[in-house]
């Protein structure tokens, strides 16, 4: 069909253009990191890459940051998503205020958020724990703008009021309605929101640097101080690491939602 | 949506492990001596007692010490090797103000910095406010300017350097300042730091100003020169880093001499040459201080003894920075040969701006600088 | 949809109780979130806003706000930030939106789809010194593309790196993380653009343009606007990338804020930093209000027809 052919061309062009836009700078980084630098180097080499696995602090930092990401994920699933759904369902007047609240973390640059939240983390460090994992609290707020937007985009296309009515008519409890009926229909929104949250936790640098917590990115920056080549290679390595991590997280295959039917 | 038992079970386990997984352990209180108030080596009971106390504390927190800056890389490694203590390095690219802010932000935790390396403006700003713990090192009376800077030893000059223009040797040799206006430097000249925030940036402006015959009280000549550079397209606003120098994005950099020395070594290892041109001598002295609420007070004091002593002086000198001890070392013939090779025997003849002159210049630059090089 | 859904009416099968209290009890549902965000979000925000209304000696004063508002530098920086954010929001949302469409029309759940989402997640967070370096290494002096351009098209703008070192360059660099962000937050909506609607439209004789103007765009617009808003705010508050590429305090508002916080040469002025942040919050609230207005209009338009 002509339309299909037109779509295909557009599609290929778009993917090509955006793909280049994103890939070329990354390639330049890779190109630089493998350039021969020392006189001893005879040509392209992976010297600046080989240095990475031998760094001592890296393993612990990775583990810590992943645990932090896990906690943020739990907060998303158990606190944020239900709240967003609840507000959309029962408290429509609060939808815009909630949206504004969720945009707030982005309205303030990270360097200022640190100034505001420092007293709280000082208290936490002295009285609770000095572990970097306590950053999960502030991180779960930092991801709000992105995760909320993702959820909201998914909710926009789903008529949850009808879904909720149907579920309650069929006798489902509120919990079941939210978790078993509504959440599966906004699955993409939840997954995308979670992915970006994981990427944020593993990519956050400013706040943990100022509060002197040894998170993944802080240790990456530390390793990068060896030389320019290593700074670039280790940065690329961290991108690849998170990428692989996200590819391994299964887009959880739930049993197909009962209401995966066109309800419009 | 059901959660697998695995997920539910592991949540509890993870949380339990996570919160008992401290980043750094809170140090145990040191023995009878409260090292937080010790003011000199005698009060500490001698160097061996200090070393023992530090080893008991087990760690030193430093901040804003890039490895390429005045050879701090070797300094930190040397300290670690000499005493077997861990060194926690925070925020290497931070400014002097960031150092004090970090101490206030993390006050009372074990992550607060123990020692500072700060410019004179910030040091003066916090003098007498209870931010620093006064301490006079063993060789205090031989340190140039120590008594004049702070008679109580709240902060002590550690090294100075001069600003210089470092450039890729393949671009030829710069013999005079106006060479920078040549077309071959198009899109290549960068200044480290913004003069309104960074003392290095401001000192760079002062250096150009002095070379053009200006004084610290009036930097208009430098501003005019930078405007010319920007209009020609020779000056770019990029902030140079090791990576941008190594990859050739910023082949001409105005920065501290002791940073350029490190760049020179790195480039030499790559078979390239990095030359330096100093049109005028403008100095940027730094000062060391101990935090009044240092979580590891003994190690903080040991660090000062190390860095401000002969070993430290040698390391600074090799890094291209003139240690405060240098004049005395040269006079008594104790200056190490490698140090002399790196920085020569000259007394520091560089002039430096006072805190007031810096502030005044900054006020002027607030409008003049963006007008000259802004967009 | 013709049924009236008034959530306050409650459902037929919910437990008994006066209608008034049943609706009030719904507010309890947001309590956990409110407590949590109160601690980790509202408390720091309150600190910042409070700090904006004090001077550097901790006395209540409008000094910081007044100074910041009247300063030419602040206005110049704010204007630049606005322009930057508008352009990157536009570029990011259009390119990202189109890419999201391209993804959706391909094989769903295929490897390329999952890879794109994973990559977008990572790149949306990529920024700072490294991102700037990546672009310098590409388009800067001695860069991969600029050296290529010098050989192939020496007179084009790509051969001369000057464009990178200004606002235009910054727009291009920022768009690098705006596109993946858009893809991530817009994908759920465009996925829900059901193929059945397209088929229905086709079978009723509508062509491509009619489908898009009558069905596609109206459905997508609210989410698109929301996503663009996110991109705008994201760009406005980004700091580290700009600080490396254009090392000039007066150029963007976040740069000004950073200098107010960390200046070593007498410029440290924490009250100014908080005042500027306060202005940013005001701006975001204002833009959000516009967006809310837009959504209400669109809903009315949808309802009418």
No. of H helices and E strands in chain A?
15, 0
Whether the per-residue pLDDT at C150 is higher than 90: the answer is no
Amino acid B23: pLDDT? 43
- Please indicate whether, in this complex, the C-beta atoms of B105 and A210 are within 8 angstroms of each other: yes
Question: Per-residue pLDDT tens for C17-32?
Answer: 566 666 678 888 899 9
Least confident of B164-178, C59-73, C113-127, C203-217: C203-217
**Average pLDDT, whole number, for chain B?**
88
Chain B nearest-CA distance from A39, in A, is 5
Nearest to B370 among C73, C132, C244 (CB): C73
Alpha-carbon span B58 to B25, nearest angstrom: 10
Give the nearest chain C residue to A137 (CA atoms).
Answer: C40
Whether the per-residue pLDDT at C4 is higher than 50: the answer is no
Work out the pLDDT band at B375, boundaries 50, 70, 90: confident
Alpha-carbon span A104 to B147, nearest angstrom: 50
The reply to whether B163 touches chain C by the CB within 8 Å rule is no
Buried b (16+ CB within 10 A) or exposed e, B254-277: bbbbbbbbbbbbbbeebebebbbb
Could you give phi then psi for residue B366, rounded to 5 degrees? -55, -40
Question: Per-residue pLDDT tens for B264-298?
Answer: 988 888 888 999 999 998 988 899 999 999 999 99
Least confident of A84-93, B290-299, C158-167, C200-209: C200-209
Contacts of C19 (CB under 8 A, 6+ apart): C8, C9, C10
Give the nearest chain B residue to A28 (CA atoms).
Answer: B247
- Please indicate whether, in this complex, the C-beta atoms of B20 and A129 are within 8 angstroms of each other: yes
Chain C nearest-CA distance from A175, in A, is 11
Whether the per-residue pLDDT at C301 is higher than 90: the answer is no
- Which of C260, C264, C267, C272 is best to mutate for the B interface (most B CBs within 10 A)? C264
Determine how many CB atoms are found less than 10 A away from the CB of residue A117.
25
Whether the per-residue pLDDT at B16 is higher than 70: the answer is no
Residue with tokens 């759920």: C188
Work out the pLDDT band at A257, boundaries 50, 70, 90: very low
Nearest to B102 among A212, A221, A231 (CB): A212
Give chain B positions within 8 Å (CB) of C263: 95, 97, 196-198, 362
Chain B nearest-CA distance from C304, in A, is 37
* 187-206 in chain B: CB under 8 A from chain C: 187-188, 191, 193-199, 201-202
| Contact pairs from chain A to chain B, CB under 8 Å | 115
Amino acid C303: pLDDT? 63
Nearest to B108 among A122, A209, A212 (CB): A122
Whether the per-residue pLDDT at B351 is higher than 50: the answer is yes
Q: What is the mean pLDDT of residues C213-236?
A: 87
- Find, among B276, B283, B242, B241, the residue nearest to B261 by Cα: B276
Q: Which tokens hold the place of C305?
A: 């027809």
The reply to whether B340 touches chain C by the CB within 8 Å rule is no
Amino acid C64: pLDDT? 86
- Find, among A47, A74, A36, A39, the residue nearest to A194 by Cα: A74
The reply to whether B98 touches chain C by the CB within 8 Å rule is yes
First-last CA distance in chain B: 54
Enter the pTM of the model. 0.87
Instruction: Tell me the ipTM for this assembly.
Output: 0.88
Whether the per-residue pLDDT at B6 is higher than 80: the answer is no
- Which of A212, A213, A253, A259 is best to mutate for the B interface (most B CBs within 10 A)? A212
- Please indicate whether, in this complex, the C-beta atoms of C248 and B197 are within 8 angstroms of each other: no
Percent of chain A with pLDDT strictly greater than 70: 93
- Which of B62, B247, B274 is best to mutate for the A interface (most A CBs within 10 A)? B247
Q: What is the mean pLDDT of residues B333-358?
A: 79
Could you give phi then psi for residue A157, rounded to 5 degrees? -95, 0
Q: What is the mean pLDDT of residues B12-20?
A: 53
Amino acid B349: pLDDT? 62
Alpha helices (runs of H) in chain B, residue ranges in sequence order: 5-19, 41-44, 47-57, 72-83, 96-105, 120-126, 146-149, 199-211, 220-232, 242-246, 257-269, 297-307, 310-318, 326-331, 337-343, 355-373
Q: Of C37 and B270, which is predicted with more confidence?
A: C37
Amino acid C6: pLDDT? 47
- Which of C50, C134, C187, C225 is best to mutate for the A interface (most A CBs within 10 A)? C134
Give chain A positions within 8 Å (CB) of B4: none
Q: Of B203 and C19, which is predicted with more confidence?
A: B203
Q: What is the mean pLDDT of residues C86-93?
A: 97
- Please indicate whether, in this complex, the C-beta atoms of B241 and C133 are within 8 angstroms of each other: yes
């Amino acid at each position: 069909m002509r339309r299909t052919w037109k779509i295909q061309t557009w599609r290929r062009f778009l993917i090509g253009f955006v793909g280049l836009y994103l890939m070329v700078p990354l390639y330049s980084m890779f190109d630089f990191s493998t350039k021969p630098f020392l006189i001893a180097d005879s040509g392209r080499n992976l010297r600046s890459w080989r240095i990475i696995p031998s760094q001592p602090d890296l393993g612990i930092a990775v583990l810590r940051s992943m645990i932090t990401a896990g906690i943020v994920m739990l907060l998303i699933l158990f606190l944020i998503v239900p709240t967003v759904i609840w507000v959309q369902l029962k408290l429509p007047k609060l939808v815009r205020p909630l949206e504004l609240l969720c945009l707030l973390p982005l309205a303030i640059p990270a360097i200022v958020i640190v100034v505001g939240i420092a007293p709280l983390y000082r208290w936490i460090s002295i009285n609770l724990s000095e572990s970097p994992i306590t950053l999960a609290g502030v991180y779960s707020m930092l991801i709000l703008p992105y995760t909320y937007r993702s959820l909201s985009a998914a909710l926009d296309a789903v008529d949850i009021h009808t879904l909720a009515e149907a579920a309650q008519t069929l006798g489902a409890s509120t919990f079941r309605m939210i978790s078993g009926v509504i959440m599966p229909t906004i699955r993409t929104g939840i997954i995308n929101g979670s992915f970006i949250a994981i990427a944020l936790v593993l990519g956050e640098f400013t706040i943990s640097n100022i509060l002197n917590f040894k998170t993944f990115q802080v240790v990456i920056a530390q390793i990068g101080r060896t030389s320019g080549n290593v700074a670039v290679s280790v940065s690329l390595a961290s991108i690849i690491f998170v990428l692989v991590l996200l590819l391994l997280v299964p887009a959880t295959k739930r049993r197909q939602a009962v209401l995966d039917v066109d309800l419009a | 949506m059901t959660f697998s038992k695995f997920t539910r079970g592991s949540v509890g386990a993870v949380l339990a492990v996570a919160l008992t997984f401290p980043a750094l352990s809170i140090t145990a209180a040191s023995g009878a001596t409260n090292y937080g108030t010790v003011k000199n080596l005698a009060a500490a009971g001698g160097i061996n007692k200090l070393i023992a106390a530090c080893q008991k504390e087990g760690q030193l927190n430093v901040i804003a010490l890039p490895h390429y800056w005045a050879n701090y890389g070797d300094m930190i490694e040397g300290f670690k090797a000499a005493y077997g203590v861990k060194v926690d390095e925070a925020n290497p690219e931070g400014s002097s103000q960031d150092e004090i802010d970090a101490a206030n932000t993390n006050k009372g935790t074990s992550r607060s910095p123990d020692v500072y390396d700060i410019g004179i403006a910030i040091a003066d700003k916090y003098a007498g406010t209870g931010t620093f713990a006064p301490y006079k090192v063993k060789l205090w009376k031989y340190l140039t300017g120590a008594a004049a800077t702070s008679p109580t030893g709240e902060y002590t000059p550690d090294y100075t350097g001069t600003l210089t223009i470092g450039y890729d040797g393949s671009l030829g040799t710069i013999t005079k300042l106006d060479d920078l206006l040549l077309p071959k430097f198009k899109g290549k000249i960068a200044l480290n730091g913004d003069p309104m925030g960074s003392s290095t940036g401001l000192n760079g402006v002062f250096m150009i100003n002095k070379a053009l015959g200006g004084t610290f009280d009036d930097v208009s000549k430098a501003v005019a020169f930078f405007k010319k550079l920007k209009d020609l397209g020779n000056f770019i606003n990029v902030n140079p880093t090791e990576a941008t120098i190594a990859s050739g994005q910023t082949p001409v950099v105005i920065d501290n001499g002791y940073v350029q020395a490190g760049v020179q070594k790195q480039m030499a290892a790559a078979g390239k040459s990095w030359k330096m041109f100093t049109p005028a001598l403008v100095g940027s002295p730094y000062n060391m201080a101990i935090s009044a609420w240092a979580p590891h007070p003994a190690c903080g004091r040991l660090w000062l003894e190390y860095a401000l002593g002969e070993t430290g002086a040698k390391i600074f000198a090799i890094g291209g920075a003139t240690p405060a001890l240098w004049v005395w070392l040269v006079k008594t013939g104790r200056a190490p040969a490698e140090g002399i090779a790196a920085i020569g025997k000259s007394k520091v003849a560089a002039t430096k701006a006072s805190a007031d002159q810096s502030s005044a210049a900054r006020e002027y630059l607030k409008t003049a600088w963006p007008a000259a090089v802004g967009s | 949809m013709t049924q009236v859904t008034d959530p306050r009416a409650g459902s037929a099968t919910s437990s008994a109780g006066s209608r008034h209290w049943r609706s009030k009890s719904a507010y309890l549902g947001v309590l956990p979130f409110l407590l949590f965000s109160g601690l980790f979000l509202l408390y720091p925000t309150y600190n910042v806003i409070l700090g904006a209304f004090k001077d550097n000696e901790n006395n209540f004063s409008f000094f910081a706000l007044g100074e910041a508002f009247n300063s030419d530098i602040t206005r110049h920086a704010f204007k630049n930030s606005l322009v930057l954010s508008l352009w990157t929001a536009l570029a990011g949302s259009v390119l990202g939106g189109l890419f999201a469409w391209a993804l959706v029309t391909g094989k769903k759940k295929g490897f390329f789809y999952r890879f794109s989402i994973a990559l977008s997640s990572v790149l949306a967070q990529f920024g700072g010194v490294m991102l700037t370096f990546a672009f310098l290494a590409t388009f800067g002096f001695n860069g991969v593309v600029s050296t290529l351009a010098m050989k192939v098209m020496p007179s084009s703008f790509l051969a001369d790196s000057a464009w990178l070192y200004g606002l235009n360059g910054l727009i291009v660099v920022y768009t690098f993380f705006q596109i993946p962000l858009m893809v991530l937050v817009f994908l759920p909506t465009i996925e829900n653009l059901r193929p059945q609607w397209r088929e229905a439209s086709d079978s009723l004789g509508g062509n491509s343009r009619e489908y898009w103007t009558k069905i596609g765009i109206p459905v997508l617009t609210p989410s698109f606007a929301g996503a663009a808003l996110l991109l705008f705010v994201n760009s406005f508050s980004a700091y580290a990338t700009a600080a490396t590429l254009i090392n000039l305090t007066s150029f963007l508002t976040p740069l000004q804020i950073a200098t107010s916080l960390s200046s070593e040469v007498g410029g440290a002025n924490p009250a100014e930093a908080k005042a500027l942040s306060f202005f940013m919050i005001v701006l975001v609230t204002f833009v959000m209000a516009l967006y809310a207005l837009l959504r209400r209009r669109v809903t009315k338009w949808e309802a009418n027809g």
